[in-house]
Chains A and B, each alone.
Chain A
Amino acid sequence: MTPLLEIRGVSQRFGGLIANSDISIAVGRGEIVGLIGPNGAGKSTLFNLIAGVAPPTEGSIWFDGEDVTALPAAQRCRRGIARTFQVVKSFETMSVIDNVIVGALARTTIMREARRKAWDVLEFAGLAARAEVPAADLIPSEKRRLEVARALATGPKLLLLDEVLTGLTPIEAQSGVELVRKVRATGVTVLMVEHVMEIVMPLVDRAIVLDLGKVLVEGRPAEIVRHPKVISAYLGDRHAVGA
């Protein structure tokens, strides 16, 4: 069976800067995959390439057996790729439920269905009590939840999470982790960018470590955390020698 998402030899250059260089990775159906790496490793660039913000300089992106390299973000959403934003981008003047309805409209244009779907997703994400509140009035952790809810309402096959757990209190992060597990339990594949290792590692089935725009290592979390290359990328060569 083909993987859900396959990235083949993707490079992205911004002028002279090479943000991603010849990256080839695959994400299987039903997996939770972590995309990690130190700052400037090229995680966000790769993430945006998958979401369709811009086409890559080289290489191709395959989703569900189809070449989606040339498709814009809105088209990819309809194919089943949904994303959240690292810096939350709520529709601030709209209520929470209306925010989610926008997502639900990617699958149906019948308002009654979209509204019902949005309510279901809000219940699922634990935001139903805040449905009528303007998004601007939510606290940061609720805004993160709203990002996830909105993305889920589009009925994705692949959910891209961009640092949804970063900057939360331990309790908030824990309930975030539970939400991600719940999402996967509904059959949605998850690819998440994080740089807080201790949160991601217990959650993901597999981790891909990027460094300097290249895939450094990939494997199961237990292997990754002990891998000398990873330690040296995060902490410097001195620590890697001891490992």
Chain B
Amino acid sequence: MDKTFARRRRRDLITALGLAVIAALVPLFVSDVYVQNIMVLTLMYAALSQSWNILSGYCGQISLGHALYFGLGAYTTALLFTKFGVLPWFGMIAGGLISAGIAMALGYPCFRLRGHYFVIATIVIAETALLLFQNWDWAGAALGIDIPVRHDSWLTFQFTRSKLPYFYFALALAAVAWLVTFWLEDSKWSYWWRAVRDNPEAAESLGVVVFNSKMGAAAVSAFLTAVGGSFYAQFVSYIDPESVMGFQFSLLMALPAVVGGIGTLWGPVLGAVILIPLTELTRSYIGGSGRGVDLIVYGTLIVLISLARPQGLVGLFAPGRKGTAR
């Protein structure tokens, strides 16, 4: 009876491995820097959305303030490197830990809020942090931080001549985020989280400590998001508050998961592969003078999907697994 579950897990793992190998080979055939750039961003957003999905998809605590953790990751790495000469690899871990800590400190009051009130709190907190960073002189205030470029090296994680190292790191990031989710899916955590999302009162009656479950989800989600932020800082090598902590990042993390399938293993990946190239292409080809067209495309797509397939596009690929609209 239990074989279906094991078979499904194996199939997921093999599919992921296949996709990772294909993705790893793509740069051999694509030398266009612009396209490579889009591929890096797609993988990064796949990882970010996968992280967002842990708290908001599985645990059901919709956050529209994840830009905060993204920005904290970027700033921690950049500040440690420019002020203290700490290598970005350590900055990445430090950023993750700081974000996880802050997520739990914020969760302490915020997880008492439910539904829309929680969402509003996440937006307000992220916007407040944005304002703080814009006025924090030591951290470069609104001007931001220019990360000094020394020479191409894995040690300082800087590459000026080629985008490929960034691509492979982004691929690894997406793979790690996916694997973490994959592992969590067969752990007590994912069961507790989904129970909390579907019915906190029933979950509590079955021995699930709802509050702790949410805290766990927030910590994991924030940690991974911050690692993504650290990567982004290295990738663009210049950060300012608006470019790493702006509200649009919160949306860009949420949308792939929502479009692909919220609270599913494959949703974020699928959503990122569809949305990120789309938004980059519309921005460069239709964009320019007509700014906002990419947003119109986004909006239209989301309306269409929520009408036709509220459970996300991932349902199209698994006809045997019936999803349930929420």
Residues of A within 8 A of B (CB): 51, 53, 72-74, 77-78, 82-83, 85, 89-94, 98, 101-103, 105-106, 109, 111, 114-116, 119, 128, 131-132, 134, 136-137, 150-151, 153-154
Contact = CB atoms under 8 A, between A and B. Distances in A.
B195 interface: yes
A5 to B, nearest CB: 16
Given A94-B195, A132-B4, A109 B207 contact: no
Given A93-B324, A111-B186, A114-B188, A151 B206 contact: yes
Interface of B: 1-2, 4-5, 186-188, 191-192, 194-195, 197-199, 201-210, 263, 322, 324, 326
A119 B2 contact: yes
Contacts of B188: 105, 109, 111, 114
A205 to B, nearest CB: 25
A191 B100 CA distance: 43
Contact of A93 (B187, B198, B201): B198
B194 A94 contact: yes
A134 B324 contact: yes
Contact of B198 (A53, A92, A105): A92
Contacts of B208: 74, 102, 105-106
A67 to B, nearest CB: 19
A105 B4 contact: no
B324 A91 contact: no
A102 B191 contact: yes
A77 B197 CA distance: 19
A136 B199 contact: no
Contacts of B205: 51, 73-74, 77, 82-83, 85, 151
A106 B206 contact: yes
A150 B199 CA distance: 13
Contacts of B203: 91, 102
Given A72-B204, A116-B2, A128-B1, 13 more contacts: A78-B207, A82-B206, A90-B202, A91-B198, A91-B203, A93-B263, A98-B191, A102-B194, A102-B208, A114-B191, A132-B4, A137-B322, A150-B202
A92 B198 CA distance: 6
Most buried by B among A73, A77, A131: A73
B186 A105 contact: no
Contact of A101 (B191, B199, B207): B191
Contacts of A90: 198-199, 202
A91 B207 contact: no
Given A73-B205, A91-B202, A102 B192 contact: yes
Contacts of B326: 93
Contact of A102 (B4, B186, B206): B206
Contacts of A74: 204-210
